[in-house]
Amino acid sequence: MNLAGGEENEGLHEFKEMLDSGAFDILQPEIQITGVLEICKLLVMAEANYSLVVPHLGDGRFGNVLKMQIAGSATNVPYVEMGNEQPIGGYESSYAIFENPPVVRPDGTIKLHKGPDLGLTIRNELLTDQPSDSGSVGVF
């Protein structure tokens, strides 16, 4: 059984210690904590150590789409985590803010956007310049 960890860790130095010590078979950085550039560097470090990386679930929306793109460009990211809490919260509900949400195919794969951006468009009806009940301006 593989041991995974790292979702609360920060900085390459912490992940380097994990790699050097062999603490985990699978590293699970949190994209909102570690950051995109650091995860890209971590992927190279992990690949040099023959280690897998499966980024942690994170916020389940924008961060997950970022992870999908990173996973699609890496050789040592075999999976991405997606929240799918049926019957009350299927994965689709996490992406309901987008006009063009990711769709999981029957074989479990996801078609990635090929353009220069992440391919996300927030539904127009959710955008407002009116104050919310709390007095702050909301985007989504």
> 114: domain CATH number?
3.20.20.120
Stronger pLDDT, 35 or 131, i.e. the higher one = 35
Mean pLDDT over all residues of the chain? 86
- pLDDT higher than threshold 80 for residue 140: no
Residues above pLDDT 70, as percent of the chain: 91
Which domain does 103 fall in, by range?
Answer: 4-126
| 92, 97, 98, 99: CA torsion to nearest 10 | 100
Please give the average per-residue pLDDT across 20-33, as a whole number: 93
- pLDDT higher than threshold 60 for residue 135: no
> Which structure tokens are listed for 80?
């991405």
Answer whether residue 136 is part of any domain.
no
**SS3 of 104, please?**
strand
Answer whether residue 138 is part of any domain.
no
Helix (H) or strand (E) holding 5: strand 4-5
Answer whether residue 88 is part of any domain.
yes
> Which structure tokens are listed for 36?
């995109």
Answer whether residue 135 is part of any domain.
no
DSSP states along 37-101: HHHHHHHHHHHHTT-EE----TTSSHHHHHHHHHHHH-SS--------BTTTB-HHHHTTTBSS-
Distance, CA of 104 to CA of 68 (rounded, Å): 12
Contact 67, 31 (CB under 8 A): yes
Answer whether residue 132 is part of any domain.
no
Q: What is the pTM (predicted TM-score) of this model?
A: 0.79
Answer whether residue 22 is part of any domain.
yes
The predicted pLDDT at position 134 comes to 60
Answer whether residue 91 is part of any domain.
yes
